[in-house]
A and B are shown apart, each in its own frame.
Chain A
Amino acid sequence: MENSSGSYEKELNLEATELRLGLPGSDEPEKRSIVRSNKRSSPEASEEECISNGSDVTSDHQDNVVPPAKAQVVGWPPIRSYRKNSLQQNKEEQSEGAGMFVKVSMAGAPYLRKIDLKVYKSYPELLKALENMFKCTFGEYSEREGYNGSEYAPTYEDKDGDWMLVGDVPWHMFVSSCKRLRIMKGSEAKGLGCF
């Protein structure tokens, strides 16, 4: 099936070795429109006759327009909106990198609080608020020693799932990567200081 655009062909050739028949990941060319396609799969299918089933490719398959990889097709995958909404809420609450509302827990206390990081402009503000909320003190932060000496230390889980000491990275970086906070016992937090 010849294609009119030469550059389009060249693009495909680059990926020819991948032999992808389905919808690949993010390297799908942006220009394809979203179509609720009832037509056959991918452009490569008609280009490289590697379908072994022997069925004929009818003229209807000329278009072979496929949606971009991350296009949201209505009702696909088949998950009830009820379930999707529930998970959505949870994900929003965990604020994936958005750094707004985060849960704060404290070692020994089985209740959680939630704070809006956007409300605070700097570490001192945040720490003061946490100290008030949980009736504890953190003491002085130093880059080398962390919160050495104080009974409690504030820590947070970042986007990568690592637990970090609050204060180690610049404020804006902290706000954008903090998923949740945890006030640990000073002894627990010792291992989190910068090396």
Chain B
Amino acid sequence: MENPNAKAQRHRQLRSNNIDPIKQMRENHPSTNSEDDQRSSLLDLARAEITESSNSKTRTYGGFPDPGSGSGPSEPQAPFPDQVLENVLENVLHFLSSRRDRNAASLVCRSWYRAEALTRSELFIGNCYALSPTRATTRFTRIKSVTVKGKPRFADFDLMPPDWGAHFTPWASALAQAYPWLEKLHLKRMIVTDADLTLLADSFPDFRELVLVCCDGFGTPGLGAVAAKCRYRSHLYSSNKLLLLRVLELVESVVEAVGDEEVDWISCFPDSQTNMESLVFDCIECPINFEALDSLVARSPRLKKLRLNQFVSMAQLHRLLLRAPQLTHLGTGSFSANDPGGVGELVQDYTTAFEACRSLVCLSGFREIWADYLPTIYPVCANLTSLNLSYADVNAHQLKPVIRHCHKLQIFWVLDSICDEGLQAVAATCKDLRELRVFPVDAREGTEGPVSEVGFEAISQGCRKLESILYFCQRMTNAAVVAMSKNCPDLVVFRLCIIGRYRPDPVTQEPMDEGFGAIVMNCKKLTRLAVSGLLTDRAFEYIGRYGKLVRTLSVAFAGDTDMGLKYVLEGCPNLQKLEIRDSPFGDGALRSGLHHYYNMRFLWMSTCKLTRQACQEVAQALPNLVLEVINNSEENAGDDIEVLYMYRSLDGPRDDAPIFVNILH
């Protein structure tokens, strides 16, 4: 326990030097104001944990303490100025919202650590296995919102068996016990069961927001439980009971019909008026009770976001639009009419319905689009800031009359069926475009595709404010990539996927090194990069030299030798997430990152040239690192390993690893 006089003296020193502690913090830990991970060293955290004594949770008053009141009971009586400062500190920290700033603040000293822990209300866990749920709930006692992420991104692409882990259940029980006042839960790539959802619904009377992204393991029964039970805080002056739930969003999560167990979850919402603001279920692969949905929308006056699944037809959408013209975000469902025998309204009526939606800014869906219906959205195009046509096989001819109106568009997701011509049309109109994603209709490797460097370059010419791009294509030239690096200096995310592996620049036959080099060189704000095409170690040399802000890097079928990976591990101080597949990086490269691994969220390397031996060495050198060696196939490839998934952990390796996961220590 530190001498309180020394502490008081230090505080006086700070004040007399006119040092603003928050400003000091920012200068020491430059933050880029974004949503990503803490940069604090794991060892510091661990040390803080160890030395933190059990009386850390002594203060029990609410957010705004009375400066004159007493101090923590078990501590020796601190001098008055110190106490005031701590109270002031808590008040100030209350307003700190960025978790990076908070992480930095917590490292200043023990009292800041304590104050920060008491005032944090949003808990972000980037890797569910980085710590035990208990550790989180012990340190942070006043959490109202929790985000937990599970599987690594490459699990989406079947590079890992589905039962690898990331179970939400242990977190569910820990959160249920520790935070009965919990309001929001966001989960990504976790396995969530119906039982988990039921526990949520039962445990949190104030619960209002559930967002599940890329999750699976649950079905309509779990949804029904959430819809039914997340409610009923009776209003003080009336006998009306309110549905507290405001947000229920299922994004790209697998929800399939499981035979008899299917539940009409929409009907589980209470009959009274609801507070629902957002209902997103476009990924649910089973039909829903439309009448119940219609009725739900009718009694949800605050509903702003509604994303329907493909089992909602055009005619049904029409009805819903008439019910809820106040919508700002709409997912249209199928956007085709399959009413057997139903004599639906004329196309004109649909246009009228859209016309009534004056506030619509975000449009998606179009799951089974019948392109003749596309013109019905003309009335809303001029206001759209976000348009997602990435499930709609629309060609350039069909796109042009629509996109021509979309002057305010900032986010555009689309299939490459629109061809270079369609992209040119986008470039001509969407001068405010910030994010573009072009997905392939046909994902097989081929020589020619519908989009190429032509459309890419057109976009770079026309959309100078571009910040984020994901582009799948069969061919790309260095020249076009270089052009984009110069035309779009605000790029933060650059993900180019040339579907043909090892493909060089088709014009010069050169590797794609120069193109990606230009991106890291010229796009000074770049934090996320995905590379493809034929790449040599030189590309990685560029990344290591210029990619100083890069936090996420995805590599596949690239590089020549260990040097490639070494450049990156030695050159990119902000690297957090590194995912590599099928590249010739081996043990030497792995060892070169020892100084940095504790600062990373994870390292994924599959089908590279790592040996078990080297991984063992790393595991021994860095005891707080968990190295999971995963074997996908039956045959043991001997000393070579197939998949290495490596991450830091404060609580050692997990205890729920399946048989095909071998954890090295």
A84 near B443 with CB under 8 A, answer yes
Q: Does B336 contact A (CB under 8 A)?
A: yes
A23, A24, A41 interface centre (most CB from chain B within 10 Å): A41
Partner of A23, one of B214, B283, B336, B500: B500
Q: How far is the CB of B166 from chain A (nearest CB, A)?
A: 16
Q: Does A58 contact B (CB under 8 A)?
A: yes
A94–B392 Cα distance when bound, in Å, is 12
Partner of A40, one of B337, B393, B560: B560
Q: How far is the CB of B396 from chain A (nearest CB, A)?
A: 12
Q: Does A170 contact B (CB under 8 A)?
A: no
Which residue of chain B is the closest to A69 with respect to CB atoms? B445
A22 near B502 with CB under 8 A, answer yes
Partner of A22, one of B444, B534, B609: B534
Q: A75-B154, A75-B159 are in contact. Are A80 and B252 (CB under 8 A)?
A: yes
A36 near B582 with CB under 8 A, answer yes
Q: Does A4 contact B (CB under 8 A)?
A: no
Q: Does B536 contact A (CB under 8 A)?
A: yes
A76 near B560 with CB under 8 A, answer no
A52–B505 Cα distance when bound, in Å, is 14
User: Which residues of chain B from 536 to 558 have a CB within 8 Å of any chain A CB?
Assistant: 536-538, 554, 556-557
Q: Does B306 contact A (CB under 8 A)?
A: no
B501 near A73 with CB under 8 A, answer yes
A91 to chain B: which residues have CB within 8 Å? 393, 441
Q: How far is the CB of A162 from chain B (nearest CB, A)?
A: 14
B556 to chain A: which residues have CB within 8 Å? 76, 78
A22 to chain B: which residues have CB within 8 Å? 500-504, 533-534
A111–B337 Cα distance when bound, in Å, is 5
Q: Does A87 contact B (CB under 8 A)?
A: yes
Q: How far is the CB of A146 from chain B (nearest CB, A)?
A: 23
A77 near B560 with CB under 8 A, answer no
B534 near A38 with CB under 8 A, answer no
Selected interface stretch from B292-300, B340-348, B354-362, B425-433:
B340-348
Q: A79-B440, A80-B157 are in contact. Are A23 and B501 (CB under 8 A)?
A: yes
A21 near B367 with CB under 8 A, answer no
Q: Does A112 contact B (CB under 8 A)?
A: yes
A41–B252 Cα distance when bound, in Å, is 34
A37, A69, A75, A79 interface centre (most CB from chain B within 10 Å): A75
Q: A38-B583, A40-B584, A82-B252 are in contact. Are A21 and B534 (CB under 8 A)?
A: yes
Q: How far is the CB of B342 from chain A (nearest CB, A)?
A: 6
Q: Does A118 contact B (CB under 8 A)?
A: no
The 8 A CB mask of A114-136 against B (1 = contact, 0 = none) is 10000000000000000000000
Q: Does B114 contact A (CB under 8 A)?
A: no
A110 near B344 with CB under 8 A, answer yes
B472 near A77 with CB under 8 A, answer yes
B342 near A80 with CB under 8 A, answer no
Partner of A111, one of B338, B368, B447: B338
Q: Does B561 contact A (CB under 8 A)?
A: yes
A72–B443 Cα distance when bound, in Å, is 9
B509 near A37 with CB under 8 A, answer no
Which residue of chain A is the closest to B533 with respect to CB atoms? A22
Q: Does A7 contact B (CB under 8 A)?
A: no
Q: How far is the CB of A29 from chain B (nearest CB, A)?
A: 16
A72 to chain B: which residues have CB within 8 Å? 444
The 8 A CB mask of A58-96 against B (1 = contact, 0 = none) is 101000001001101111111111111011001101100
B262 to chain A: which residues have CB within 8 Å? none
B584 near A79 with CB under 8 A, answer no
A114–B370 Cα distance when bound, in Å, is 13
Q: How far is the CB of B267 from chain A (nearest CB, A)?
A: 26
B504 near A109 with CB under 8 A, answer no
Q: Does A53 contact B (CB under 8 A)?
A: yes
B447 near A25 with CB under 8 A, answer yes
User: Which residues of chain B from 359 to 411 have a CB within 8 Å of any chain A CB?
Assistant: 367-368, 370, 372-373, 390-391, 393
A19, A38, A42 interface centre (most CB from chain B within 10 Å): A38
A113 near B340 with CB under 8 A, answer yes
Chain B interface category by residue count: 35 or more
A81 near B346 with CB under 8 A, answer no
B446 near A25 with CB under 8 A, answer yes
User: Which residues of chain B from 442 to 465 have a CB within 8 Å of any chain A CB?
Assistant: 443-447
Q: Does B661 contact A (CB under 8 A)?
A: no
Which residue of chain B is the closest to A161 with respect to CB atoms? B395
Q: Does B439 contact A (CB under 8 A)?
A: yes
A21–B447 Cα distance when bound, in Å, is 13
B391 near A90 with CB under 8 A, answer yes
Which residue of chain A is the closest to B558 with respect to CB atoms? A41
Q: A21-B509, A73-B501 are in contact. Are A36 and B538 (CB under 8 A)?
A: no
B283, B538, B581 interface centre (most CB from chain A within 10 Å): B581
Which residue of chain A is the closest to B504 with respect to CB atoms? A21
Q: How far is the CB of A98 from chain B (nearest CB, A)?
A: 16
The 8 A CB mask of B587-616 against A (1 = contact, 0 = none) is 000000000000000000001110000000
A31–B584 Cα distance when bound, in Å, is 24
Q: Does A177 contact B (CB under 8 A)?
A: no
Q: How far is the CB of B562 from chain A (nearest CB, A)?
A: 10
A191–B563 Cα distance when bound, in Å, is 65
B336 near A112 with CB under 8 A, answer yes
Q: Does A105 contact B (CB under 8 A)?
A: yes
A105 near B372 with CB under 8 A, answer yes
Q: How far is the CB of A80 from chain B (nearest CB, A)?
A: 5
Q: How far is the CB of B374 from chain A (nearest CB, A)?
A: 13
B444 near A70 with CB under 8 A, answer yes
A110 near B501 with CB under 8 A, answer no
B500 near A111 with CB under 8 A, answer no
A81–B162 Cα distance when bound, in Å, is 12
User: Which residues of chain B from 117 to 163 have a CB within 8 Å of any chain A CB?
Assistant: 154, 156-159
A41 near B158 with CB under 8 A, answer no
Add 6 more A-B contacts to A21-B509, A23-B500, A90-B367 (CB < 8 A): A38-B583, A74-B158, A75-B154, A77-B472, A78-B157, A81-B156
Binding site for B on A (CB under 8 A): 19-25, 36-42, 50-53, 55-56, 58, 60, 66, 69-70, 72-84, 86-87, 90-91, 93-94, 103, 105, 109-114
Binding site for A on B (CB under 8 A): 154, 156-159, 214, 252, 254, 283, 314-315, 336-340, 342-347, 350, 367-368, 370, 372-373, 390-391, 393, 415, 439-441, 443-447, 472, 497, 499-504, 509-511, 513, 533-534, 536-538, 554, 556-557, 560-561, 563, 581-584, 607-609
* CB<8 Å pairs between A and B, sample of 14: A22-B503, A50-B509, A52-B510, A53-B537, A76-B501, A76-B556, A77-B440, A78-B556, A82-B254, A83-B390, A87-B391, A90-B368, A91-B393, A93-B368
**Top 10 nearest A-B pairs by Cβ distance?**
A75-B157, A22-B503, A25-B447, A41-B502, A53-B536, A111-B337, A22-B502, A55-B560, A80-B156, A75-B159
